Amino acid sequence: MRQKLVVIGAGMASGRVLEHLLEQDPEAYDITLFNAEARGNYNRIMLSPVLSGDKTYAEIVTHDDEWYARNNITCRFGEHVVKIDRDAKQVVGQNGTVDYDKLLIATGSAPFIIPVQGKDLKGVITYRDLDDTNAMIEAAAKGGKAVVIGGGLLGLEAAAGLAERGMDVTVLHLMGHLMERQLDESAGFLLRRDLEQKGVTVMCGASTAAILGETCVEGVMLEDNTGLEADLVVMAVGIRPETRLANDAALSVERGIEVNAQMQTSDPDILAVGECVEFNGALFGLVAPLYDQAKVVAHTLLDQPAVFVSKELSTKLKVTGCDLFSAGDFAEGEGREDIVFRDPGRGVYRRLVLEDDCLVGAVMYGDTTDSNWFFGLIRDKTEVAEMRETLIFGPSFQGGSAVDPLSAVAALPRDAEICGCNGICKGQIEDAIAAGANDLGAVRAVTKASGSCGTCTGLVEQVLAVTLGDAFVMPTSQPVCGCTDMTHEDLRRMIKSQELKSMPAVWQACGWKTSCGCHVCRPALNYYLLADWPVEYHDDPQSRFVNERKHANIQKDGTFSVVPRMWGGITTPDELRAIADAADKFAVPTVKVTGGQRIDLLGVKGEDLPAIWDDLNKAGMVSGHAYSKGLRTVKTCVGTDHCRFGTQDSTGLGIKLEKALWGSWTPHKLKLGVSGCPRNCAEATCKDIGIVCVDSGFQISIGGAAGMDVRETELLCQVETEAEVMEVVMAMTQLFRENAKYLDRIYKWMAKVGLDWIKEQIDDLENRTALAERFELSQSIYRKDPWAEHVKKADSYQTLGDLTLEAAE
Amino acid sequence: MSTLMNDWIDISPLDAIPQRGARLLRTIHGCVAVFRTAKDEVFALDNACPHKNGPLAEGIVHGNAVTCPLHNWVISLETGAVQGADEGQVATYPARVEDGRIWVEASRLRRRAVA
Ligand code: SRM
Ligand SMILES: Cc1cc2nc3c(=O)[nH]c(=O)nc-3n(C[C@H](O)[C@H](O)[C@H](O)COP(=O)(O)OP(=O)(O)OC[C@H]3O[C@@H](n4cnc5c(N)ncnc54)[C@H](O)[C@@H]3O)c2cc1C
Ligand code: SF4
Ligand code: FES
């Protein structure tokens, strides 16, 4: 007589099993099929087109009632199986029990719900089945705001679909970039940009604290206390294999139900298939492997030999309207080589990872046409040595040309501003060239482009090269580093004119050849971005040299030096006592008076830093930034307070200046001096900015140095009031911040742009005020004590652990 | 030295180290730097640059390499080998991430009861 097969779960995996089984031997089993969903098998991966309205449910049904009837399968849809009784070999459904000879568990997975307050409110839904999808469609009909928690495949598909249906959608993602498991940072950035163009707001590094509302959701609260309004919350933070039944039945379960290569669980009469299983420690979240499993299950049920082997996985993802692909292992690794190709014009990004002449991983964005070819190379471990050079261009390009260093500039729109000083756009330069200006001088003559500060010269030359082709020979200029062909000046112009506000944005738009830069370009980029976009860009400590990351100077023995500010070189007995106490408490080996009119505590242990800072903070002292490419010191002399020659309050002015400028980041260190008279006891005329007081007012001069080069400052202007000094110095500092190359002191930068150009900018009162205002805006963010901030995260200065303590047990 | 890979210890959650950052582990051989890359891979190396013992944990991490904070030697996190023109070798220790936690193979790093 026929054997009884009971199947729990009518999903994509079990659906395939039934097809294989029936086509090989329709007579083998009496089949009973349970499904918690009140319907049979449909193509779950097509739910997104249903959500976005491109398809109807009817179109994605794979097995209809007629099919089940024809194959006389007893369907118990809309009925949960609640228990498996292995001794009685019975399955207990909500509406009664069924006997089995063989049992197939295909319960898929359950969406993971983050355990936050409000998770059970009406209007909080997951994205797993048709009911969820319909709930979203219904909610979207009312319009309003939706918050999607989770920036993975599901979350983004939900977001894109809801946006298409007219909702105002925000995606909250815990990690630094979207779909971090499938995409690297650069591809993640492009995806984000495309979604934002669809009107979806994306917040990365956002962790949900609570879901708010009385009976229905009204909003979402983030850990950082940002509040978001929401009429609908979609939770898509991941899935967990649905193993509850198997657990209760005491089958062996790890993260999923453990199966052997025949897809049998620890009980040979019970098989499992799909997302609910674990095989050799691996879980499965995509249909391809499930279909292979399904074949094996069918064979095992018919006592035919078969083995399941998990294959290399590729994901060609179809987040509505965005083209992305990732396959294999694209992490960097030993003996691995990266090939990166970026076409800023078409928003294309490709990254190939090679290991011993084979392709092991690939990430593609924007153009995935060749993805199958690349996936083939990975799967078959094809030798790619010969085509190495042109591999990245795909099959059609074999033997094609190499990456064009000019592509970034070629991709700029005509209205992209090239010359900031004279507001000249790419189009105007192209026109000038068309009208016969075929070298830099000529372009300069007719358009003025690069005629002023000259920092955009590189870009103008590239426009010439792009437009004239071989007719123009590019003068070779120093690129920032091996990661790019652009010079610092080119970069600064691109960041401004293309409004690039994040590192991945720059890497993409400027055709970076590496995936995440190097120790040369990252600190420079970090500075340029925070100087040009103080509000939008957030400082990246990991792209800073240790001194600026730890806010102390590293010493040759790995200890640090601590230099608290002494405004204008003025201190008090209390401050000195506090410094003395700190020196005692932390056994500081050397206490030294610096060349900058303050005291240096040298030889402090890294893990003691937060504690010593805390003590100094409590005594009212803040970081002296003796380590920063930023404002260092404002040296002063005693001036009118005490000196018989003093003409103005040089000490007071110095303190005012230091309090206005401290905390600001600059291309290189910035040092000021204020002397009370031309005797210049504060050495003001060898500082980056020096002020010498005279009876009639103040002489402000710039570009001094007394380090590797010794330079005397040159006069910028003379003003009458302290208020004017403050504005000029702030404007001057901002001009330097906005235009100089990273690691140029003022004197070096001045040699390039010329004192006259700087004077023009500062003498133009409107411009001066505007500069000072931009400086003030930036200071509203950076004029704070980094020590106090770091004391708050003191534990990050401690060691992770101490294995020396584990003495012989 | 032969190592029986049988002493994996759970050091900390992955998040205790920032991406492209490092933290220290105190051991009988001095400090070991545990690095986390942008791709969330972890590596453990002696915290001493072959040049002049620069504290590698304080360097800038890029790709799977770190640049020493003192004089910019570049060291591979994989092999501990010094890259480019310079020459030298840093001892490395097996490390891995599992369920969001960092594990280090410590048989060479801590005193054992049996010895
Ligand atoms: C502590 C101090 C020496 C002292 O004991 O007086 C000092 C110490 C260092 N100086 Fe200096 N400079 C110190 C005043 C000076 C001065 C004099 C001054 O500021 O009045 C100069 C010449 C003036 C000038 O800057 O033009 C000076 C010119 C330099 C230079 C050369 C800069 C240049 O552009 O040529 C460097 C190297 C660099 O910055 O790249 C440098 C770099 C350094 C570094 C940070 C080297 C480093 O990167 O590790 C030293 C840190 C030692 C440590 O471990 O703490 N230090 N340094 C002084 C701290 C002043 C302060 O209170 O903040
Ligand atoms: C929106 C969306 C988009 C996706 N896109 C893709 C894609 O592009 N590419 C890709 O490869 N994969 C994609 N997936 C993943 C893919 O759908 C799953 O891997 C696949 O459906 C898993 O099949 P399964 O049979 O294991 O589980 P399921 O298809 O989930 O079926 C399990 C069934 O078992 C039922 N069940 C559970 N417990 C019980 C119980 N106790 N009693 C009775 N019945 C029960 C459930 O109701 C469910 O119907 C997507 C998934 C979703 C949700
Ligand atoms: S002069 Fe040289 S040695 Fe002395 S503190 Fe400055 S950088 Fe160090
Ligand atoms: S100590 Fe590392 S580079 Fe000098």
pLDDT for A639-672, tens place per residue?
Answer: 888 898 889 999 999 999 999 999 999 999 999 9
Which atom belonging to ligand 4 lies closest to the Cα atom of B68?
2
| Mean pLDDT in residue range A104-113 | 94
For A781, residues 6+ apart whose C-beta sits below 8 A from its C-beta are A534, A535
Is ligand 4 within 6 A of the CB of residue B56?
no
Q: What is the mean pLDDT of chain B?
A: 87
Indicate yes or no: CB of B58 within 8 angstroms of CB of A543: no
pLDDT greater than 50 at residue A736: yes
Start-to-end CA distance of chain B, whole Å, equals 14
pLDDT greater than 50 at residue A399: no
pLDDT at A806: 57
pLDDT greater than 50 at residue A807: no
pLDDT greater than 90 at residue A568: yes
Which atom belonging to ligand 4 lies closest to the Cα atom of B72?
3
Confirm if B78 and B64 have CB atoms less than 8 A apart.
yes
Distance A544 CA to ligand 3 centre (A): 21
Is ligand 4 within 6 A of the CB of residue B52?
yes
Angle subtended at Cα A176 by Cα A172 and Cα A179, rounded to the nearest 5 degrees? 70
CA–CA dist B47, B90 (Å, integer) = 8
pLDDT for A437-455, tens place per residue?
Answer: 888 888 888 887 887 777 7
- Composition of chain A by helix, strand, coil, percent to 5: 35, 25, 40
Residue numbers in A near B109 (CB within 8 A): 803
pLDDT greater than 70 at residue A557: yes
Distance A525 CA to ligand 3 centre (A): 27
Q: Within an 8 Å CB–CB cutoff, is residue B30 touching chain A? A: no
Q: Locate the chain B residue with the closest alpha carbon to A546.
A: B58
Residues with CB under 6 A from ligand 2: A 8-14, 34-37, 44-45, 47-48, 80-81, 106-108, 127-128, 154, 157, 242, 245, 274-275, 285-288, 290, 318
pLDDT greater than 80 at residue A421: no
pLDDT at A516: 85
pLDDT at A752: 85
pLDDT at A24: 92
pLDDT at A449: 85
Distance A707 CA to ligand 3 centre (A): 10
Indicate yes or no: CB of A185 within 8 angstroms of CB of B52: no
pLDDT greater than 90 at residue A52: no
pLDDT greater than 90 at residue B61: yes
Distance A172 CA to ligand 2 centre (A): 24
Maximal C-alpha separation, chain B: 43
Indicate yes or no: CB of A802 within 8 angstroms of CB of B17: no
- The H or E element that residue A6 is part of is strand A3-8
pLDDT for A119-146, tens place per residue?
Answer: 999 999 999 999 999 999 999 999 899 9
CA–CA dist A72, A61 (Å, integer) = 18
| Mean pLDDT in residue range A197-214 | 92
pLDDT at A35: 97
Cα–Cα distances in angstroms (integers) from residue A795 to residues A73, A788, B13, B17, B24, in the given order: 62, 14, 14, 11, 12
Q: What is the mean pLDDT of chain A?
A: 90
A-interface mutation test, from B24, B62, B78, most A Cβ less than 10 A away: B62
pLDDT at A809: 38
Q: What percent of chain A shows pLDDT beyond 70?
A: 96
Q: Within an 8 Å CB–CB cutoff, is residue A708 touching chain B? A: no
| CA A698, chain centre distance (Å) | 46
pLDDT greater than 60 at residue B70: yes
| Mean pLDDT in residue range A20-40 | 95
Indicate yes or no: CB of A549 within 8 angstroms of CB of B61: no
pLDDT for A165-176, tens place per residue?
Answer: 999 999 999 988
Q: Which ligand is nearest to the CA of A710?
A: 1
Which atom belonging to ligand 4 lies closest to the Cα atom of B73?
3
pLDDT at B115: 38
Q: Nearest CA to CA, how far is A206 from chain B (Å)?
A: 15
Select from B58, B66, B71 the residue to mutate for testing ligand 4; criterion: most ligand atoms less than 8 Å from CB.
B71
pLDDT greater than 50 at residue B114: no
Indicate yes or no: CB of B25 within 8 angstroms of CB of A803: yes
Is ligand 4 within 6 A of the CB of residue B69?
no
Q: For A416-420, A628-632, B92-96, which range has the lowest pLDDT when averaged over its residues? A: A416-420
Q: Within an 8 Å CB–CB cutoff, is residue B89 touching chain A? A: no
For A69, residues 6+ apart whose C-beta sits below 8 A from its C-beta are none
| Mean pLDDT in residue range A18-22 | 95
Q: Within an 8 Å CB–CB cutoff, is residue B20 touching chain A? A: yes
Indicate yes or no: CB of B70 within 8 angstroms of CB of A554: yes
Distance A267 CA to ligand 4 centre (A): 60
pLDDT greater than 60 at residue B112: no
Q: Is A366 left (phi over 0), alpha (psi -120 to 50) or beta?
A: left
Distance B6 CA to ligand 2 centre (A): 39
pLDDT at A340: 85
Q: Which ligand is nearest to the CA of A37?
A: 2
Q: Which ligand is nearest to the CA of A597?
A: 1
Q: Nearest CA to CA, how far is A281 from chain B (Å)?
A: 12
Bridge partners for A272 per DSSP: A105
pLDDT for A300-352, tens place per residue?
Answer: 999 999 999 887 666 666 666 677 888 877 766 667 888 888 877 777 888 88
pLDDT at B2: 42
pLDDT greater than 70 at residue B113: no
Which atom belonging to ligand 1 lies closest to the Cα atom of A709?
35
Q: Within an 8 Å CB–CB cutoff, is residue A58 touching chain B? A: no
Q: What beta strand segments (E) does A86-231 contain?
A: 90-93, 96-99, 102-105, 109-111, 124-126, 145-149, 168-173, 201-204, 208-212, 219-222, 227-229
CA–CA dist A735, A49 (Å, integer) = 52
A291 phi/psi in degrees, rounded to 5: -65, -40
pLDDT at A329: 75
pLDDT for A471-500, tens place per residue?
Answer: 777 676 778 988 988 889 889 989 998 899
Which residue in A516, A796, A804 is closest to B38 by CB distance? Answer: A516
pLDDT at A295: 93
pLDDT greater than 50 at residue A257: yes
Residue numbers in B near A184 (CB within 8 A): 39
Which atom belonging to ligand 1 lies closest to the Cα atom of A710?
26
Q: Which ligand is nearest to the CA of A555?
A: 1
Give me the DSSP letters along A466-485.
HHHGGGSPPPP---SSTT-S
Q: Within an 8 Å CB–CB cutoff, is residue A518 touching chain B? A: yes
| CA A146, chain centre distance (Å) | 23
Residues with CB under 6 A from ligand 1: A 553, 555, 561, 563, 592, 594-596, 598, 600, 624, 626, 632-633, 669, 671, 705-709, 745
pLDDT greater than 60 at residue B1: no
At residue B5 the predicted structure's pLDDT band, cuts being 50, 70 and 90, is low
